[in-house]
Structure 1
C-alpha cells in the first residue's frame, strides 16, 4: 500500500509498516496536528503495528507536548527522524527525551525504512 495524503501543515505517505511525514516549512507542530495523525493511523493502521518517520527537509518546530500524546498510540512501535541537518538532529535528541518508545535518528530514508520494517515484525 502507498497512499499520499496532503494537509495544510504536512504531507503524509502511508506504507504497509510506516507513515512518512514531511512537515511544511515554518510550521509549529502542536497537539491539534497530532489529532490528525491519530485519525490517519486509526484509518490506515487499525490494530496493525506501525512506525512514524519524519523526514525533516524543512525548518519547523515541535511542541514537546505532542510526544506525550503520540506515545500513547498503542500500535505505534517507534519514531524515526531523518535529516542531514545538524540542528534538526540536535533538536531530535532533545525531543527524544519526551518519547517513551524506540526513537532513532537517521541520515538516510532507506535506513529508517529498514529499521521500521524490522521493528514492526
Structure 2
C-alpha cells in the first residue's frame, strides 16, 4: 500500500494510494461543489474502473458547503467517505455533513482506524466467487 502520487494544489494536499485518496484541505478554504470537478478528474485518472474510498484528514480549519455531497455521491466508483476530524467542532461539522451523503460515511479518531475501515469496505464490495452453471 504505497503512495502512488502526491498533489499539492492551491486548496489541498492529496495523497493517492492504490485504493483510496487522503485529502487534506488547506486552512481557510471554502469547499464548494466546484471542487468536485477536480476530485472527479483525479478519480478518473487513477481509479478508472476500480472502486475507491475518499479519506478527509481534517487537520486544518476550513468550511464545507454540504451541497457538495450531492455531486460527490454521483461519482460511480467512489463507494465511501471517511472523516478524521482534529477537533470537537470539526467532528460536529462532519456529523452534520453525514446527513447529505447516502453512501457509507464514517468518522474516525485516527488515520490508521480510517484505513482499516477502508479495507473492510472494499472487501465487502468485491464480487463473490463466480457461480458455475452445469
TM-score (norm 2): 0.88
List runs of 5+ in structure 2 lacking aligned partners. 124-134
Q: Which runs of 5+ in 1 are unaligned?
A: none
Superimposed CA distance per residue, residues 5-56 of structure 1 (whole angstroms, 9 cap, x where no aligned partner): 1110000000111100000000000111111000000000001001000000
* Equivalent residue, structure 1, for 2:86: 84
Over residues 38-92 of structure 1, what are the superposed CA-to-partner deviations in whole Å (9 max), with x where a residue is unaligned? 0000000001001000000000001111100001111111001002310000000
Relative contact order, higher structure (CA 8 A, sep 6+): 1
1:1-121 superposed matches below 5 A? 1-2=2-3, 3-121=5-123
Alpha-carbon separation, structure 2, partners of 1:22 and 1:8:
11
Conservation of the 8 A alpha-carbon contact between 2:19 and 2:51: yes
Aligned-residue CA RMSD (Å): 0.8
Number of matched residues? 121
TM-score scaled by structure 1? 0.97
Moved over 3 A (4+): none
Give 3-state SS (helix, strand or coil) of 1:16's partner: coil
Equivalent residue of 1:26, what SS?
coil
